[in-house]
Structures are given as C-alpha cells and as structure tokens.
Amino acid sequence: MQQVSEHVFIETKYLGCNVGVVLTEQGPVVIDTPALPDDTRDLRDQIRKLTSRRIAYLIYTHEHFDHVLGAAGLTKKVIAHYAAVSDIEYLRKNLASEIKHFYPGLYLEYKDIFDTLDVVPPQITFVNEITLYAGSRKLELSWVGGHSPASILIYVPDDRVLFCGDNVDVGMPFIAPYSRFGEWINALKRIEGMEIDRIVPGHGEVCGMDDVIRTRIFFETARDRVQSLISADVTKQEAVQKIDLTDVLPVPLSPIVRQQVQTMVGMMWKEID
C-alpha cells in the first residue's frame, strides 16, 4: 500500500476503485473495497502488515457497485449515507443481472464470483454529517451528493487527507445516471475551502486542489453555457450538438469524450430546466 500521510494508506491497483486505510487505536478504518475476492484477500494481508487490530469500520464513499463489492470479505460494520441503503438493497438482489447488463465482458470473466457475491448493506447511516471518534483519531463524514445521491466526503483532519469518492477525478469526471451538477459544483467549492494536503479520488492516483478547481470550472462553464442556450430558446437537441467546451475540457477531445460531454449537457439541461 502507498502511505499518503502518517496514518493513511491507499491502494490504487485493485479492480473497482481506490481503497483507503486509516489507522486508529480502535483498529483500521477501511474506505471503499476492491471488487474481486483475490484483491480483498490481498487487502486483508496488506492491512495485517500495518496493524494486528481487526477492522473497526468500513465506510462507503458512495453506493456504486465498483466501490462496495468487497465488504463481505472485510467486515459487516459498514457506515454509509442514508441514500445508499435502497441502492445497496437493489444491488443485493440484482447484482449478477446488473453487471451482466452494464459490463457483459466483466460478468463473463468473473461469472462465478458475481453470481454468488453477497453485497453488504450499511449498519450505520447518517443524513448530513457524522464524526467517527476512533481513539484519538477523528474522521469527519459529510454528505455532498453530486456524483451520486449517496456521495460523501471523508476527512481525516489530523492528517489533512480527504477521500472524495467519485466527486473528484484526475481527467474527465465520472458522470453517472443520477449525478446532480448543482450539488457537484457545491461539493467542489466546499473541498476548495478545506485544509487539505492530499486528496484521494475514487479512482487513480492521489491528486491535488488543481484537479478540483479544474473540474469545478469545467462544470460551471458548462452550466453557464447551457443556461445561455436555454435563455436563447435553443432546443435541447441543438444545444447538445452545438455546445463547445473544448476550452475548459479537463482532457483532450476524443469521440468518447464528446459523447460524455453531450450526455452531461443533456443532464444539465434537464436539471436547469
């Protein structure tokens, strides 16, 4: 695992998402999980090298399947936002068919795993904020929404480290079907106001405030331009085709990025209208 501060370690190589471990006197607190059992076993081995204590809690940054599947191999003491409950319940009942539908290749490769995997629901939920006092270490969890309805921030103030889930990414943001851009922009503004040395995104390497600011400017510019097109009585279809965001795009334009931008513009249109 990569040490990002005195008490915080992360692993960025697992299939699924980044996984964090915060060492506390009550035991390690794990943030998100690997998708595959082999990676979960590896995570348990890595944690054992850091501490002999049992996992105190597992926190889901949000409800998406690529962040929660490994819980069965870790602990049932799961903390998540209240809005994660119904989605996790749905996943529990429909995991195999969901993965088969959205990621057929992945499903075929790991069919035996996804057919039997038990998705662990949260035991502790909260609505706005909750602070976990684990010995002398404090973890501040707060709801922000944005990327998904149950997206939260997890802040370790002693270490000035923030876990952002999929609200922050290096490159193009992960826009999901229920992303809400007003919330997302507010989340990014809130992060910009925090005292942070290291930011752990949901996927990829540790990033910094530059990535947060770049994403916020991208979303704000897009929203302003969508708003102007709505005011100019342009139709949604025209707007999706017409809008140009190349000057604020966090990545070079490609056919896939163009498609993502068009999806985002359509969603923003609906949100503003």
Nearer to Zn ion (CB atom), residue 64 or residue 216? 64
Site size for Zn ion, by CB under 5 A?
2
Which residues have C-beta within 8 Å of that of residue 104, sequence separation ≥ 6?
none
Shortest Å distance, C-beta 202 to Zn ion = 6
For the chain, count helices (H), then strands (E): 9, 12
- List binders of Zn ion among 60-79 (CB under 5 A): 64
Q: Which uninterrupted H or E stretch holds 145?
A: none
**Would you count residue 7 as binding Zn ion (CB under 5 A)?**
no
Nearer to Zn ion (CB atom), residue 159 or residue 166? 166
Among 166, 169, 183, 211, binds Zn ion (CB under 5 A): 166
Choices 105-113, 158-166, 184-192, 251-259 (CB under 5 A): range interacting with Zn ion: 158-166
Q: Determine phi and psi for 60, rounding to 5 degrees.
A: -90, 125
Separation CA 162–CA 155 (nearest Å): 5
Name the token pair of 243: 């809008």
Nearer to Zn ion (CB atom), residue 166 or residue 211? 166
- DSSP strands (E only) in 7-97: 8-11, 19-22, 29-31, 57-59, 78-81
Distance of CA 238 to the CA centre of its chain: 31
Nearer to Zn ion (CB atom), residue 56 or residue 152? 152
**Is residue 199 a contact partner of residue 191, using CB atoms and an 8 Å limit?**
yes
Shortest Å distance, C-beta 223 to Zn ion = 21
Nearer to Zn ion (CB atom), residue 166 or residue 183? 166
Choices 125-133, 155-163, 166-174, 227-235 (CB under 5 A): range interacting with Zn ion: 166-174
- Which residue ranges make up the site for Zn ion (CB under 5 A)? 64, 166
